[in-house]
Amino acid sequence: MKIYSYKDLSEADIEQLCMRQLGDDESIKARVSEIVQEVKICGDDALRSYALQFDKIKLHDLFIGFEEISEIASTIPDDAKAAIDVAYENIKTFHSSQVSKEQKVETMAGVKCWRESRAIERVGLYIPGGSAVLPSTFLMLGIPAVLAGCQQIVVCSPPQKDGKTNSYVAYCAMKLGIKKIYLAGGAQAVAAMAYGTETVPKVYKIFGPGNRYVTQAKQLVQSAAMTAIDMPAGPSEVLVIADETANPSYVASDLLAQAEHGPDSQAILVSTSSEIINKVLQEVEFQLELLSRKEVTSKAIGNSYAVLVQNLDEAIAFSNAYAPEHLILATAAFESIIPSIINAGSVFLGNLTPESVGDYASGTNHTLPTSGFAKAYSGVSLDSFVKKITFQHITAQGLKNIGNTVEVLAAAEGLDAHKNAISIRLKD
């Protein structure tokens, strides 16, 4: 990891450091566009063709139903079942707290306005599979979708080598009451949910992480198919702010935990102490040798860096510029820093709060904005699965009170019909 000194960085340097390098986006965009178009035109036939091409599996049925899901779920190891049960309860508890009802507001006598939530009727959940099955993502997306009351929850996950699904995913489906899992992965799964096929229903909003192909497909269908997505996303990332109270071995483990997601992940260390930076980098080298995904992780570490700052104010300034998906405050002074955090997907406080707990079981959602989008986007929550509809009711007295205001403003804008819609009522 290269080390930078914050005091030597110009504003342009910081902006450049905070840019995420996505490399071969144009070639990926072209390939994804081809896949999406093929699924749009050929439907199920395209999904079967891509399953054979990418997953090396010849599929007859493009989904597994409730009985098969139940049978597969029964094979889950006991310890995994218990772990999913705990994670499920914690995530459900946290997201249940987000259910709220807004009060009606009388903006002036006789004029009442309010908002009500309505669940998005059809949502699509993409659950990565293959060699990197993510049952935790199923919980993170499925629980708020169920709590929100979405009428149709379409789940797509790549088939395993046996042409079925993983027991962990099947068990999550049982917990969530999902009775069908569609066996499609990658950009083709996103396209199937966006346009619909003979088998896969069309949805109104697509959720879920994935590789660059999945991300590109989500962005494409957002405009081409007018299908909403949870958020723009890129490779996973973490930024750790560490001062002299940080534990170097803990910090190193957090950096490596994020780096093992993929070679294009980023793990950024920002510290007030050059000694801490040196100790963390030594620990990174030591711990890296013990990892099963050493090759992938080392590539991500090679794309990462450390920044030496003079104080925590500079550390927060850099973090807000970077806008990390995950922000870890490895400092005893985390309480005083919280109000200064402006841009971050999810924040982990103190030396005993690793990012891993948020990924799996603390209760917060791990589907978060990356690539700097934390400057404008929030992570997935119950609100992601609902729409807020405004209502208003005007009484006769209210119309008298507000009528002249609307007439004057409508006339000022040259919209006579708008003015008349008020005037005609006031005359009665």
Give the sign of the dihedral formed by CA 242, CA 245, CA 248, CA 254.
negative
Q: What is residue 311's DSSP assignment? A: S
| Residues marked as catalytic | 325-326
d(CA 103, CA 350): 37
Assess contact for 386 and 228: CB atoms under 8 A.
Answer: no
**Cα distance between residue 346 and residue 366, in whole Å:** 8
Cα separation, 19 vs 6, in Å, equals 16
Residue 239 CA to residue 269 CA, distance in Å, equals: 6
Secondary structure (3-state) at 23? coil
Tell me, what amino acid is at 347?
V
Say if CB 165 and CB 182 are below 8 A apart: no
Tally of CB atoms within 10 A around 353: 18
In sequence order, the 6+-apart residues with CB closer than 8 A to the CB of 106 are 112
Q: What are phi and psi of 148, to 5 degrees?
A: -70, -25
